[in-house]
Amino acid sequence: MEITLSEILHHFDVKLDDDNEIPYGNGHINTTFVVGKKTRYILQKINTNVFHDPAAVMRNIVAVTAHLREKVAAAGGDPSRATLTPIYTPDGKSYWDAPNGDCYRLYLFIEGTVCYDQVENADQLYHAAREFGKFQNMLDDFPADTLAEVIPNFHNTRDRFRMFREAVDANLAGRRDEVAEEIAFAMAREADTGIVLDAIADGSVPLRVTHNDTKLNNVMLDAKTGEGVCVIDLDTVMPGSLLYDFGDALRLGGNSGAEDETDLSKIYFRLDYFEAFVRGFVQELGSKMTPREIELLPFSVKLMTYECGIRFLTDYLNGDTYFRIHRPKHNLDRCHTQFKLVADMEAKMDEMKAIVKKYIG
């Protein structure tokens, strides 16, 4: 059953000044629209194939944004710009369950901001890093045990590898022979998958409340000043490692090209962007990091890029059922950029370590 957007909006406690409904943004997971004119809102269909318990996702988001709002207000800031503002239904729910099983939510549109699918200069990395750092700082005292684990083992790279190996064995879409080289690249790096997990297990890397999806188009920068405004896409806020947020941000932020660039000669890892991000991140979180966290910062970028690469490859092998794609080999193209970056990071690891040392350690 097809539901119209105006019918969906009717279930939220808002009066719109326009009936525009424009597809918006470049996220791979949810379906996003901008609605309204003078006062704009973000309407999203939550991807229930990815988030099996949307009620738990929204409970996390309501709690986390309430915590952030309080902190920002206490510091004299504007909470409606500094975090997401969920709009409620008249009966007080933060989402609407449609009769066909779909699930929708509405947020205030954060005006006067921009986010980047591909970074344009080092300054953007510096400000994004500070914003992700501030986000973690503000959630430092959030009770982590009240958060639902909405996607279990989200950054458990060992488990991601297991799922990858299962996809190779199952060969559901019949594409295994076509990607033999990519499979070999991934298999050769299996030993990397346990390094951060082992550090978490031995206590040298603490669990914190982390964002877990720190891609650059999930942080809003001020359209005029370029400074950080807020972190969005809070679906995956869960207990995790600071290394996940650091590494994942540079996976996309340190890429010289687009995540899905098909001309691989354009793809390399930008040390100048890496340095700008390190500078901002250390400025906000430097005093909190343990020696092992500091030591693993460069490796975490490679690990998160590798993990994302095997996730794209797994999805390609499974027949493209997880990430939204816009062309037949989109997931394979994405996998190629990630693996090219991994190889480049391996070549540049000593330089990355030297950059971290320059700022901390």
Distance of CA 176 to the CA centre of its chain: 28
Q: Which does 192 bind (CB under 5 to 8 A by kind): Mg ion, ligand GN1, ligand ADP, none?
A: none
Distance of CA 143 to the CA centre of its chain: 21
Q: Which stretch binds ligand ADP (CB under 6 A): 19-27, 124-132, 285-293, 349-357?
A: 19-27
Q: Which does 155 bind (CB under 5 to 8 A by kind): Mg ion, ligand ADP, ligand GN1, none?
A: none
Q: Any contact of residue 218 with ligand ADP (CB under 6 A)?
A: yes
Nearer to ligand ADP, 108 or 296 (CB): 108
Q: Which does 333 bind (CB under 5 to 8 A by kind): ligand ADP, ligand GN1, Mg ion, none?
A: none
Cα dihedral sign, 301-47-160-317: negative
Runs of H (alpha helix) within the chain: 5-9, 54-74, 79-82, 122-138, 157-170, 180-187, 195-201, 242-253, 271-285, 291-318, 330-359
The residues binding Mg ion (CB under 5 A) are: 27, 218, 233
Q: Any contact of residue 105 with ligand GN1 (CB under 6 A)?
A: no
Q: Any contact of residue 338 with ligand GN1 (CB under 6 A)?
A: no
- Among positions 9, 35, 50, 282, the unique one binding ligand GN1 when judged by CB under 6 A: 50
Phi, psi of 22 (to 5 degrees): -115, 125
| Helical pair 271-285 and 330-359, crossing angle rounded to 10 deg | 60
Q: Any contact of residue 314 with ligand GN1 (CB under 6 A)?
A: no
Residues 255-294 that bind ligand GN1 (CB under 6 A): 259
Residues 235-294 that bind ligand ADP (CB under 6 A): 235
- Among positions 60, 83, 157, 218, the unique one binding ligand GN1 when judged by CB under 6 A: 218
Q: Any contact of residue 43 with ligand ADP (CB under 6 A)?
A: no
Asked if residue 213 lies in contact with residue 104, where contact means CB atoms within 8 angstroms, the answer is: no
Q: Which does 58 bind (CB under 5 to 8 A by kind): ligand ADP, ligand GN1, Mg ion, none?
A: none
Buried b (16+ CB within 10 A) or exposed e, 271-307: bebbbbbbbbbbbbbeeebeebbbbbbbbbbbbbbbb
Distance of CA 302 to the CA centre of its chain: 16
- Among positions 45, 71, 215, 302, the unique one binding ligand GN1 when judged by CB under 6 A: 215
* CA distances, 104 to each of 30, 32, 50, 54, 92 (Å): 10, 10, 14, 9, 14
Tell me which residues touch ligand GN1 (CB under 6 A): 27-29, 50, 213, 215, 218, 233, 235-236, 259, 308
